[in-house]
Amino acid sequence: MNRAESSLDTIDIILRTATEHFAERGLAGARIDEIARDAGVNKATIYYHIGGKDELYAAVFRENMRNSTERLLSNVEAKQTAEEKFKAYVQTMVENLRENKAAAPLMMRELASGAENIPQEGLQYIVKMLTTIIQTLEQGRQDGSFRDTNPGLTHLMIIGSIMFYTAGEPLRKKLMGLMGADFPMLEYTKDCDLARDISDFLLHALKP
Amino acid sequence: MNRAESSLDTIDIILRTATEHFAERGLAGARIDEIARDAGVNKATIYYHIGGKDELYAAVFRENMRNSTERLLSNVEAKQTAEEKFKAYVQTMVENLRENKAAAPLMMRELASGAENIPQEGLQYIVKMLTTIIQTLEQGRQDGSFRDTNPGLTHLMIIGSIMFYTAGEPLRKKLMGLMGADFPMLEYTKDCDLARDISDFLLHALKP
DNA sequence: CCGTTAACTAAATGGTTAGTTAAAATTTTA
DNA sequence: TAAAATTTTAACTAACCATTTAGTTAACGG
């Protein structure tokens, strides 16, 4: 392996490991020493390649948002009708958040911190996602398949329910242990089931 | 002022101040010295009355959950029909989260941390809230005013949308600055408007 | 094969922070 | 008023932790 490739691999494993740590413990709670240990590199290597804790965090956030946004946009654009696009939006959001377990915790911590550590580029990705769902709802409104609803509210329903479902898994486990199995708790094993239920529920609210 | 009252006041100001700090910075990010300074008490007073950082955090979480839950249950129980109860649930949840700005950040950070620092009593309050909404939805299903939907999913929509709206305010401000005023961003000045819109949206999905 | 340079490391540095302590001051109680 | 509870003061410590520094290793180009 040549120098450039090995370098990229190192940066990649650092970012992957840091993503988990920042998601589980937050910016303040994560430890550079532990990230380095779990990534199998020396602490100074992180400083050499990426920079200090803040820059590492920004890089982690940016990469995660970039991946999610690119996939979301391309999946939605591939569809024609407003309803298909809406379903693709929900489905892809569910896939993104379930494949990358860190995404929801990262975003929720950012919201809790007043979005103070989101890098500029991260904001751009959020705008792209918002624009996509707004355009989809507008398309549906114009062709009569959707009611005239507040797009911001609809987006809140999508993002809120999926993020809370994803990040809420450990809490649900604790509650289940406390309540017994007969308590009707939400639990999906497949992405498509959750995405379908959310789509169905929200489309019921969106349709005239 | 007698001894008990004065003591309660001291504990109260400590808990209030700590609530803000933990919400804004998280358990790891909050500083005992800063909490003491902002509360206007000596650091040793916190240890005298409450204990260490973890105990302070648990007390903060417990008190916040207790307040919210008590208000929620009493407001819902005062109503008769399923739809009235549903609206009261949403309305009270909105009021709770907007009057106590710390509640949503505290809960979102907990979810992100795998609910690891929620005290036992806090879990009990969550169960009470869940039970309330489940019973309300069941009541509506039986008398034919609601469809047969997954109660867990419905709760996810309520709690997700309200929490993301509440905690998302700083992010919305940043996005507004980035996008210009013509971008259709959700912004309510009154509790009742947000609660009404969410109720209307969800009732549209719940009704047969 | 050799000098250069990117990649990496081990160890040190220095600031930060949770928690403690002991004595004194203040307030409340009885 | 004496005892008890509360709070302050302020110094202290032991651990923690981000960042730096000085040095090592090995790939690369010529």
Indicate whether A3 and A89 sit together in one domain: no
Q: Is the pLDDT higher at A19 or at B7?
A: A19
pLDDT of residue B3: 52
Residues B145, B90 share a domain: yes
Which parts of chain B register pLDDT below 50? none
The CA distances from residue A116 to A60, B15, B35, in Å, are 15, 24, 20
Judge whether B56 lies within some domain. no
Same domain, A168 and A96: yes
SS (H, E, C) A32-58: HHHHHHHHCCCHHHHHHHCCCHHHHHH
Confirm whether any atom of chain C, the nucleic acid strand, is less than 7 Å from CB of B47: yes
Strand C nucleotides with an atom less than 7 Å from a protein beta carbon = 6-11, 17-22, 27-29
The Cα B105–Cα B101 span in angstroms is 8
Torsional sign, CA B76, B129, B167, B119: positive
Q: Which of residues 48-77 of B touch strand D (CB under 7 A)?
A: 48-49
B77 within domain boundaries: yes
Check which CATH number belongs to the domain holding A184 and give it. 1.10.357.10
Residue A108 above 80 pLDDT? yes
Q: Where does a domain end: A36, A51, A66?
A: A51
The answer on B91 and B194 residing in a single domain is yes
Q: Return all residues near B18 (Cβ < 8 A) that are at least 6 apart.
A: B30, B35, B39, B56, B57, B59, B60
Q: Mean pLDDT for chain A?
A: 93
- Distances B143 to B59, B81, B129, B139, B148 between C-alpha atoms, Å: 41, 9, 22, 6, 11
B41 touches strand D (CB under 7 A): yes
Verify whether the Cβ–Cβ distance B113 to A24 is below 8 Å.
yes
Does one domain contain both A121 and A18?
no
**Residue ranges making up the domain that contains B108:** 61-206
Q: Which chain D positions come under 7 Å from a protein C-beta?
A: 5-11, 17-22, 27-28
Residue of B nearest to A102 (CA): B112
Query: What span, in angstroms and rounded, lies between the C-alpha atoms of B147 and B128?
Result: 23
Q: Which nucleotide is nearest to B47 (CA to C1')?
A: C19
pLDDT at A5: 72
How far, in Å, CA of B10 to CA of B50, rounded? 11
Regarding whether B165 and B68 lie in a shared domain, the answer is yes
Q: Residues near B90 by Cβ (< 8 Å), separated by ≥ 6? A: B158, B162, B195, B198, B199, B202
Lookup: tokens for A188:
């999906």
Domain termination site, one of A9, A29, A51: A51
CA of A125 to C1' of D28 (A): 39
User: What pLDDT, in 10s, does the model give residues A145-193?
Assistant: 999 999 999 999 999 999 999 999 999 999 988 887 767 767 776 666 9
The CATH number of residue A30's host domain is: 1.10.10.60
Q: Which pLDDT belongs to residue A8?
A: 81
| Nearest-angstrom CA–CA distance, A203 and A200 | 5
Residue B24 lies in a domain: yes
In the block, tokens 């918002």 appear at A130
- Report chain A residues whose CB lies below 8 A from the CB of B183: 130
Where does the pLDDT of residue A7 fall: very low under 50, low under 70, confident under 90, or very high at 90 and above?
confident
Say if residue A134 is in the same domain as residue A193: yes
How distant is the Cα of B28 from the closest Cα of chain A, in angstroms? 5
- A100 and A153 part of one domain: yes
Q: What is the pLDDT of residues A52-105, one digit of tens each?
A: 999 999 999 999 999 999 999 999 999 999 999 999 999 999 999 999 999 999
Residues B66 and B102 in one domain: yes
Question: Looking at the 3D structure of chain A, how many domains does it have?
Answer: 2
Taking the C-alpha atoms of residue B177 and residue B152, their distance in angstroms, rounded to an integer, is: 36
Q: How far apart are CA B208 and CA B178, in angstroms?
A: 41
Cβ A4 to strand C below 7 Å: yes
Residue B179 lies in a domain: yes
Q: Quote the CA–CA distance of A47 and A55 in Å, as a whole number.
A: 9
Contact B204 A205 (CB under 8 A): yes
Q: Which of A9, A34, A51 is the last residue of a domain?
A: A51
Task: Work out how many CB contacts closer than 8 A connect A with B.
Answer: 184
A184 and A87 within one domain: yes
Are B20 and B92 contained in the same domain?
no
- B73 in a domain, yes or no? yes
| Residue in B112, B156, B186 nearest the CB of A186 | B156
Same domain, residue pair B191 and B161? yes
Instruction: Round to a whole number and report the distance in Å from the CA of A48 to the C1' of D23.
Output: 15
Residue A35 pLDDT grade (very low, low, confident, very high; cuts 50, 70, 90): very high
Using only the alpha carbons of chain A, give its radius of gyration.
19
